[in-house]
Amino acid sequence: MNVFRLTGDLSHLAAIIILLLKIWKSRSCAGISGKSQILFSLVFTTRYLDLLTSFISLYNTCMKVIYIGCAYATVYLIYMKFRATYDGNHDSFRVEFLIVPVGGLSVLINHDFSPLEILWTFSIYLESVAILPQLFMISKTGEAETITTHYLFCLGLYRALYLFNWIWRYYFEGFFDMIAIVAGVVQTVLYCDFFYLYVTKVLKGKKLSLPA
């Protein structure tokens, strides 16, 4: 495992922990898109079905279990335990506009036309756009809490680091996965505007606000 993949995984894990701690400590899920979290739960579920069929390493298995468990724990906190604080009026992105095209694309463009491979491909495509409901929610409210922006920054950093991971693997291992790379680039591009605002405002102590 190279340093880019390891730090990418740790950044991803940090984002998940930041979000869970934010919800638990504040006893509120205000400003958090439940729809994005449902999409991420779907991403991890469809991607890690190989937990039932293969074993790669203890690290790999533990990370997969943690991602799945934390994703569903987040959904539970938003829609069950702290449901009264959930802002459903602003979390109004039509997720079917993401799921249906992604489902169709994963059937048409994949590495192997088998159920597990199609679901894995579906998860890769869906992850690239799963953050859109959250970004859409921020644009509707016009601002985001600092802790929420830290969560988004860590997610974006994870994706950017994975791009470097793929470059490393191409040059040193001869590994090249066009589906994962294209999806990763799309996802990173979606974060670019947010990265700029994060660096110019949040890190300088200013409140992040986005045009509605």
Please check whether residue 108 is in contact with residue 179, taking contact to mean a CB–CB distance below 8 angstroms.
no
Three-class SS of residue 113?
A: coil
Reported as a single tens digit per residue, the pLDDT across 16-32 is: 999 999 999 999 998 89
Residue type, 141: T
Please check whether residue 130 is in contact with residue 43, taking contact to mean a CB–CB distance below 8 angstroms.
yes
Over pLDDT 70: what percentage of the chain?
A: 88
Reported as a single tens digit per residue, the pLDDT across 183-195 is: 988 888 887 766 6
Side-chain-side CA neighbours of 152 within 13 Å: the count stands at 32
pTM of the model: 0.89
Provide the β-strand partners of residue 143: 209
Three-class SS of residue 144?
A: strand
List the single range of 55-64, 84-93, 172-181, 192-201 with lowest mean pLDDT.
Answer: 192-201
Beta carbons within 8 Å of 72's beta carbon, 6+ residues apart: 41
Res. 207 pLDDT band, cuts 50 70 90: low
Three-class SS of residue 154?
A: helix
Q: What is the four-CA torsion angle of 8, 10, 14, 16, rounded to 10 degrees? A: 80
